[in-house]
Every structure is written in C-alpha cells, then in structure tokens.
Amino acid sequence: MKTRQDVIDVISKVQHPAIAYSLLDLGMVKDIEIENNEVKVTFVFPFPNIPIADQLINSIAQPIKSIDLDMKYTVVIMTEDEKQKFLQMETEAWKG
C-alpha cells in the first residue's frame, strides 16, 4: 500500500519548467490524499487559464503513475498571499 509520503517523494523532484523550484516548493501542489489506488491532488495556480496548466498537471501525473497509482485532481486559484509568495519565488529563480 502506497502512502502519502511515497507520493510526496516522487513528486518533490518535479520542477516548474521556467522556475528553479519544485511545484511543491512553489505551493502549486497541495492536499494530497490517497484512497485505494487513487491519489487526489489539488493544483493551486496563481492565475486562471495559465497556458502550461496541462504540462504542469502531467508532470505530476507521470511520477504518480510510475508508482502504480492513478491521479484525480482539482484546480484552484491561489489566495493573494499565496500568489505574492509564488511571484517572489518566481522572481528569485526565473530560468528565463
């Protein structure tokens, strides 16, 4: 039986394609819950309709699939505080 920590271990290495931080560090992935063989993940984006949303979701889905779990997800928008922290981290670590 896989644990929440197993999921965190495999997704913690997934970096944002344009920012030198993981999606976990950026606060873009949270509320990881496992039920049977399914992981429920909440993606938290700074703005609605970000162009790389599917790419980010797939970058998390692949490592989850690699440990034989399925992923279901929801997407929410960051609070103002979360967005400010994200933008600060983006500025510090932009790969541009």
Domains, the chain, ordered by start: 4-93 (3.30.300.130)
Determine if the pTM surpasses 0.75. yes
Contact by Cβ (8 Å): 19, 93: yes
Helix (H, G, I), strand (E, B) or coil at 66: helix
Residue 28's Cβ-count burial label (10 Å; 0-12, 13-18, 19+) is buried
Structure tokens given for 81: 């505080």
Tens-digit pLDDT profile for residues 18-44: 999 999 999 999 999 999 999 999 999
Supply the pLDDT for residue 50. Answer: 95
Contacts of 22 (CB under 8 A, 6+ apart): 11, 12, 13, 14, 15, 16
Tens-digit pLDDT profile for residues 4-15: 999 999 999 999
